[in-house]
Structure 1
Amino acid sequence: MVDLAVIGAGLSGCALLAALRRRGWKGSTLLLEAGRGPGGRCATRRRRDNDSWRLDHGSPTLSFSHTPQGELANLIASLQQSDVLRPDDLPVVGVDHLGQQVAPPDHVLLSGPRWRGTPTMASVAEALLAQGGEVVEARFGERITTLCHDGSVWHLNGDHHARALVLSGTLLAHPRSLAMLGWQHVPLREAVPAGVDPQLDAALQQIAGLEASVRWNLMLELPEVSSHHLPRQIWLTAQAQERFGVERLVLHPQQDQRLGLVVHGLDDGAVITPDSQPELLRRHEQDLIKAISELVQPWPVLSSALAQARSLGVMRWGAAQPLHQGLSADLQWCHQTRVGFCGDWIEGRGFGMAEGALQSALNLAERISGSSIAER
């Protein structure tokens, strides 16, 4: 039995644990993550056959709409002092629907300051998790599929038991999980029937209204390339995104002079189920490989290297995206059932923005640290 179970070791989940430790919270904590390590959408692909190979196949930077203030600024400063976070001022360019280089589009992820993890984006989540201290037990490679609440204790997969629960993503609370994972019921709704906790009822209703945003990220290994005059990110204009089904390309120079390339592919609306996903992965891989040949034409060195590229597969990313507003901040912590939420989908935080993931974690930590979870 632990005081708090946190599901998801992404940026917000790890930041929550770090923030609780800084606030002096002494409760025991269990972190559960389906992936092989911390990172979430800031995860990093590592090669078993090459220790120096690093490929950030999710978000390439931490993006902010404006300069961080207050507690958030202190958090960023601590990560910079630990040398796991550095300002990102690498070149960003645009490509239009004709495959020609243009100015980068006016996009919220490019509107404010950006930082990148060093040596990898996953290093940021790893550092935050380390700040959580020894009271945090982390288990990776474990997907939670069933939740049960008996009125005082949360039971996860029947194996883990906690007095309070935090979801750093929406998968266990959003109807999209039904098709994607082949479940019959939304796990959080099944654990707490309607009418038991009005605050949670309202939260689940708002979460159900969030749109599922999906990316199909193709990872490529290119031969030795001089990346001196190449951009870091190549963003497609709106018209180009519609034509090619690609949001952006991100270049990852390697220590051995080879080049990693991640193609952030857009979703085409096909229903994702356990049975359909293998074919969808194969099809998106083929479509994205075909598309990038036109997108890198402004850079002959990339066009030449692409002929020798080796595919490392496609990674599917899913996240909740607010259509108008995210989950109301006053529903981030449901006192009666002791369940909380954090992530960039919380109201007013900005989907896809690191400030949203981090600030929501700081806000939730304040509420949890002021509660009496460990005493109940």
Structure 2
Amino acid sequence: MPGKDVDLVVIGAGLSGCALVAALNNRGWSGTIQLLEAGRGPGGRCATRRRRDDLLWRLDHGSPVLSFHAEPCGELRRLMTSLEQRGVVRVDLDPVVGLDHHGEVVAPPDHPLLRGPRWRGIPTMASVAETLLRNGGDAVDTCFGERIQGLSRVDESWVFPGGLRSARLVLSGTLLAHPRSLAMLGWSDVPLREAVPAGHDSVLDEALDWIAGLNASIRWNLMLEFPAVDPAPLPRQIWLTPRAQEQSGVERLVLQRQQQGHLGLVMHGLDDGALITPESQPQLLNVQEQRLLTVLPDLLKPWPTLQRQLSSVHSLGVMRWGAAQPLEAGLPNALQWCRQTQVGFCGDWIEGPGFGMAEGALQSGLDLAELIAA
């Protein structure tokens, strides 16, 4: 982690964090920004898996589309129009089907992610975050593969290991502000709470109370490579009905054609409630991989071309999304920016009509930029 002083540290290079830095630059905010991301590149839950042994391989192993509850308006509409005009996104009209507990193809289930308009990243979903990050301008410095090992607030500055100091801090995810960090990071207290004791900032106190009560579903996404398959039309998404999900422990299958006729498939596996810690996660990844491979043949019965090739499928491993889908109510907008301690929050877990969607992630970044630049 670089040792320097900056005006803003943003933790997380998903849609909301990248939308924030782009919006700040668009508003003429002239501060320096350090973006820290645990992954190997921008994207967050819209990340794209690449392979060292096949440079043409691209697999969107998180969200396959940007979902909205309705047509965007205002600043968000202008952002989407700009991305469309630059060829970074296109309206998603790819076929979506449902699969019931009998293994029959049916209409897709009624799900918030399917009700409104959708856009797909071109050529990949990660392209959206990558473009937004470039729109942040030269004032943004990035550091990938960076996991936060410590956080403190000293003399009205946010201080990180290695000497990085910042006047402002933004979290685009809940991990450093949520009690689940205790198990995942092995900290004795919630990192943000440890950095700022209770009673110092009443808005932050209220925000942390809200965040502690937020829940999100976990996904275990198994990535698979099929050999060359028939070019006959296939659905882009196969959504299981609620009863089928309960029966198989799978939410949906997402298919993505690759170069030379190969096919990528991502199984969005549901969580079974097992305790996840740094020590237990490697074993759980193996357990989930085997479980998903076991149920896949039954799920592919309506597509015999794919089912016949299962013996030749190559597993690329499982990606665990620790907060794949926020549930219930989001963090109130009034708590998005804590002015006294100069810390803010963005992500699809902020309340609003786009809660739990890419729409909410993007809108929260735009809203927070307005608050910071004011």
Q: Which interval holds the TM-score relative to the shorter structure?
A: over 0.9
CA distance in 1, matches of 2:200, 2:258: 53
1:213–1:157 distance in 2 versus 1, CA, 3 Å:
farther
Partner of residue 182 from structure 1, selected from 178, 183, 186: 186
* 2:238 corresponds to: 234
Residues 55-204 of structure 1: pairs in structure 2 closer than 5 A: 55-204=59-208
> Which of 331, 334, 337 is equivalent to 2:335?
331
Superposed displacement of residue 349, structure 1: 4.2
For residues 256-291 of structure 1, give each alpha carbon's deviation from its aligned partner in whole angstroms, at most 9, with x where no partner exists: 110000000000000000111011000000000111
User: Does residue 284 of the first structure (1) align with residue 311 of the second (2)?
Assistant: no
CA distance in 1, matches of 2:185, 2:271: 17
The letter for the 2-side match of 1:180 is: M
User: Gapped runs of 5+ residues in structure 2?
Assistant: none
| Contact 2:69 2:353 (C-alpha < 8 Å) held by counterparts | no
Could you tell me which residue of structure 2 aligns to residue 311 of structure 1?
315
Counterpart-to-counterpart distance in 1, 2:216 and 2:124? 27
- Cα drift, residue 150 of structure 1: 1.6
The answer (yes or no) to whether the contact 1:224–1:257 under 8 Å persists in 2 is yes
Work out which of the residue numbers 205, 213, 216 in structure 2 matches 1:212.
Answer: 216
Measure the CA separation in 1 of the matches of 2:86 and 2:321: 29
Secondary structure, counterpart of 1:224 in structure 2: coil
SS in 2 for 1:307: helix
Matches of 2:194 and 2:42, distance apart in 1? 28
Q: Secondary structure at the match of 1:216?
A: strand
Is 1:37 matched up with 2:44? no
Contact 2:217–2:327 (CA under 8 A) maintained in structure 1 = no
The alpha carbon displacement at 1:324 in A equals 3.2
Whether the 8 Å CA contact 1:349–1:359 is kept in 2: the answer is no
**What per-residue deviation string (whole Å, max 9, x for no partner) do you get for residues 147-206 of structure 1?**
101241001234311000000000000001111222221100000000000100000000
Residues 348 and 355, structure 2, Cα contact 8 Å, conserved in 1: yes
* Alignment partners' CA distance in 2, 1:286 and 1:55: 20
Hey, what's the Cα distance between the residues in 2 that align with 1:242 and 1:157? 44
Q: In 2, Cα distance between the equivalents of 1:349 and 1:241?
A: 26
Report the 3-state secondary structure (helix = DSSP H, G, I; strand = E; otherwise coil) of the residue aligned with 1:298: coil
State the match for 2:12 in structure 1.
8
Q: In structure 1, which of residues 53, 69, 75 is the aligned counterpart of residue 57 of structure 2?
A: 53
Secondary structure of the corresponding residue to residue 260 of structure 2: coil
Decide which moves more: 166-175 or 225-234.
225-234
Q: Quick check: 1:321–1:351 contact (8 Å CA) kept in 2?
A: no
**2:290 aligned partner, one-letter code:** Q
Q: Would you say the 8 A contact 1:7–1:33 is kept in 2?
A: yes
Q: How do 1:341-352 and structure 2 match up within 5 A?
A: 341-352=345-356
Once residues 370 and 266 of structure 2 are traced to their aligned partners in structure 1, the CA distance between those partners, rounded to angstroms, is: 37
Amino acid at match of 2:20: L
Deviation at 1:226, TM superposition (A): 2.2
CA distance in 1, matches of 2:161, 2:238: 42
Q: Which amino acid counterpart does residue 269 of structure 1 have in structure 2?
A: G
Percent identity of the aligned residues?
Answer: 67
Structure 1: distance between partners of 2:234 and 2:328: 36
Higher alpha-carbon deviation: 101-110 or 225-234: 225-234
Matches of 1:181 and 1:287, distance apart in 2? 27
Instruction: Judge conservation of contact 2:218–2:325 (CA < 8 Å) in 1.
Output: no
Match of 2:300 among 296, 303, 306: 296
CA contact (8 A) 1:92 1:235 kept: yes
1:325–1:348 CA contact under 8 A, matched in 2: no
Aligned residues: 370
Tell me, in whole angstroms, the C-alpha distance in 1 between the residues paired with 2:105 and 2:370: 46
Query: Alpha-carbon deviations, 1:305-354, whole Å to 9, x = none?
Result: 22210100000001275543110100000000000000000012444311
Distance 1:322 1:92, change over 3 A: closer
Cα distance in 2 for residues equivalent to 1:354 and 1:30 = 23
Alignment-mate amino acid for residue 302 of structure 1: L
The Cα shift of 1:212 comes to: 3.2
Name the stretch that deviates more: 222-231 or 204-213. 222-231
Shift of 1:145: 2.5
Kindly state the Cα deviation for residue 227 of structure 1 after the two structures are TM-superposed.
4.1
- Distance between the aligned counterparts of 2:365 and 2:84, measured in 1? 19
C-alpha contact 1:145 1:187 (8 A) present in aligned 2: no
